Amino acid sequence: MLDRRTALAALSAAAVSSSTGIPAAAPAPLTRKPPRLRPGDTVGLIEPAGFTVDRFDLEAILDTVRAMGLVPKPAPHVMKRYGYLAGTDQERADDVDAMFADRDVRAIFAVRGGWGSARTLPYLDFDTIRANPKLLVGFSDVTALHLALAAKTGCPSIHGPTLSSSWGALSWDSFKRLAFDAETPTWRMPGGGEDRLVPRRGRVRTFGSGKASGRLLGGNLAVLAAMVGTPYMPDMTGAILFLEEVDEAEYRIDRMMTQLALSGLLGKVAGVVFGQCTNCGTDDSPGIGFSLSEILDNHLKPLGVPAFQGAPFGHVANQVSLPVGIRAEIDADAGTIRILEAVVT
């Protein structure tokens, strides 16, 4: 009988050779890196998914950019509404292309997430994006753009807060160190700050011991799982897969992790980091089903690679930024993510 690691490798090969599936795109060679941000730079604002309703919310977002020492430049369709989207798929894609092509724009921030970024992918001009590498910043539904850029252009990006996020001290400091200072920091589990003999917060949940290095690729679990089988999913061979989620019941987490396993994706990675799973779980019949930790244990432990849970990124008030497509090293026992190269020049 095949062990699970061997089985996952076999599934990976089968997924690529399937006559009905679309193989993951080979990792695009890393383009020249985006320029670092400097005070006074102009940055583009896009809404690739959901829309912003209130103009006063947009004013607060513009002030957030100004507080970073940057100059905001909203794309033409920011605040436009088309159903639950911020404009048609073509309009939202045009905004992304325009910001990459604009010589005055040094980086691009997603105003918010929601749903819809994946719908723009067939309309994007990846040649223009490849020729004009700039930092794209955002998380959650923006995962679709991060993965597509990695697959189609090799342009690194930053999985970090959207402009609608709170941008607390940890969020701002981690982003600044990556985007402005071109640092290669090490992110650790946050301290507990609890009145306990043994703190419960910030503890590492290790599913596979050891260290591993590779390109950081990942993002929101639901978005990533939905990208499997498309030409916008980069090859995960040797990658450090990072995942986060929000508002999902345990069985849905199980279903999405099963999708990653059955597609062969999990069998390719060198390591896994699961960040925060905010408001995940149900109140129905507690203790009857699997817990999140049990689900992750079931899917990650058999891989035989370093894997841990609890890193400070995801749908939380204060999260660290992660450079997508850039090499990093994880230590699953210590719960650390060490960035090995700068994401900007």
User: Is there a contact between 259 and 228 (Cβ–Cβ < 8 Å)?
Assistant: yes
Which of the following is catalytic: 174, 315, 321, 329?
Answer: 315
Catalytic residue selected from 47, 244, 245, 250: 244
Question: For this structure, is 77 an active site residue?
Answer: no
User: Is 140 part of the annotated catalytic residue set?
Assistant: yes
Question: Token digits for 125?
Answer: 């001009």
In the residue annotation, 59 being an active-site residue is answered as no
Q: Which residues are part of the catalytic machinery? A: 140, 244, 315
